[in-house]
Structure 1
């Protein structure tokens, strides 16, 4: 079972359906309606932290859940706000983006590893965000797995755990290889 944390965002349900299409049983919990101990007690294969409005500090249990996943070596995928929560939980700084993106398609350049395995190095993805991870504050436990052409961080990966974050939306219809990225994540946790 995969536990999907809903940060009060309609894209949560797109992720839910994508994961279901990939044969996963998924349980959804709102970020402020359940405790972390209860979630861990359900013994999920992995957590997915959804997109959402605001910043990591207003995302309910998301930041503390990232820390717990790191400490307990539980696989985790963070999307958009979930991606930012990963960096923030490990003492990274989240800052205003130079440009605001709402439904904009941009080219993403990846390291072709982890969730980007067997996906072209460059592909188009849809972005919906006004915040980004500050490069100079990137935590030592993370490395950049994807960027835009301009160099903005679009993906991070934990150095020792199966923890991946992506700033863009794999569940958006205009993102190329979205199902494949989620399938790759599921392949990492088998």
Structure 2
């Protein structure tokens, strides 16, 4: 054991339930957020840097975390976005040749408080039964009353706008400026691997802040539009919804992922709701209703779109469903080149069953640009 004097720590849930563990390293600390769990066996570094996880205390269901270290290239944003880490066994040593630091060093560099030695099976089982809720992790094990008081002041994820916390402040470019196509992307928490997937298929992307207007995005004269993933409740994002409505009025393709999927649904008058637990992991089964094929997918969302309203909407078609709970996992518009999915086809670190969706997007772009050139 690297640290002999690790501090006692606890997880206090909003309903008063307490689980115990120990601090990672010998640090004291406290962190607040919505507690959730991810069922992936790998990819912890990508998870921790995914903007969609902003403000959440992450419980990793895999028993060992940190055993393959970290690599500076395997990040989805410029910093850690989770509020805190909860795990069973934390590995201070690592044995991966391409790693350039331990997970402990990575967490320390980014100022993230973490606790281990937690009965994560019991904790995840409790969350499954009682739903995701706010929580606090802390070494202040003798100040439970004080922690309860502070925890009550933490806002609920329902109704919480978080895109502004993770979006770019100024527009920027990604890819080769001589690429065949130009895409305007609305950043409401975009992952780097999404940009990589767009760029490697021949796109030059201009990334805009979460509150950019349609006029901002269209002034660049793009061939298509993209709305990204991101954290928080979609319904407060009135500016993004208004922008999506204007994009839909054009004849140019639009693709949305995760939070972007929910924004496109809201732009079509389909409501969203907070899920009991959400879907988080890299092993979620999806059925593609258009092909009849199954997909194993990467997911990270705590909100979903209303299935009944989607089925009743004359302009929408459900294209994908989650096989565990039959929630809507993908839609497309019948009269526009607009489609979206609730999961992550860029899937860093994997799986890659759904990366064909980027190819579908580019086929629409190619078709639209050819039609425009022929006019």
TM-score calculated relative to the size of structure 2? 0.46
Quick one: distance in 1 between partners of 2:363 and 2:321? 23
Q: TM-score, normalised to structure 1's length?
A: 0.87
- Looking at structure 1, the residues matched to 318 and 220 of structure 2 have their Cα atoms a distance apart, in angstroms, of 31
* Counterpart among 288, 292, 298 of residue 126 in structure 1: 298
| Mapped partners of 2:225, 2:351: distance in 1 | 22
Equivalent in the alignment of 1:3? 184
Q: Does 1:181 align with 2:181?
A: no
Residues 31 and 60, structure 1, Cα contact 8 Å, conserved in 2: no
Aligned partner of 1:94 in structure 2 is: 272
**CA distance in 2 between partners of 1:87 and 1:74 (Å):** 17
8 A contact 2:273–2:304 mirrored in 1:
yes
Q: Deviation digits for residues 126-177 of structure 1, max 9, x if unmatched?
A: 1101111111121321110000113111000001101001000111132323
Q: CA deviation at 1:103?
A: 2.6
The reply on whether 1:136 has 2:136 as its aligned counterpart is no
- The separation in 2 between residues aligned to 1:179 and 1:148, in whole angstroms, is 17
Unpaired runs of at least 5, structure 1: 114-119
Counterparts of 1:143 and 1:175 in 2: how far apart (Å)? 25
Question: In the alignment, which of 24, 35, 48 is matched to residue 226 of structure 2?
Answer: 48
Structure holding more strand per residue: 1
Work out whether 1:80 is the aligned partner of 2:258: yes
Between 68-77 and 84-93, the greater mean CA deviation after superposition: 68-77
**Larger radius of gyration between Structure 1 and Structure 2:** 2
Structure 1 runs (4+) greater than 6 angstroms displaced: none
* In structure 2, distance between residues paired with 1:93 and 1:57: 8
Q: 1:22 aligns with which of 201, 208, 212?
A: 201
Deviation at 1:94, TM superposition (A): 0.1
- CA distance in 2 between counterparts of 1:175 and 1:48 reads 22
Aligned with 2:244: secondary structure? helix
Q: CA shift at 1:86, angstroms? A: 0.8
Q: Find the counterpart in structure 2 of residue 63 from structure 1.
A: 241
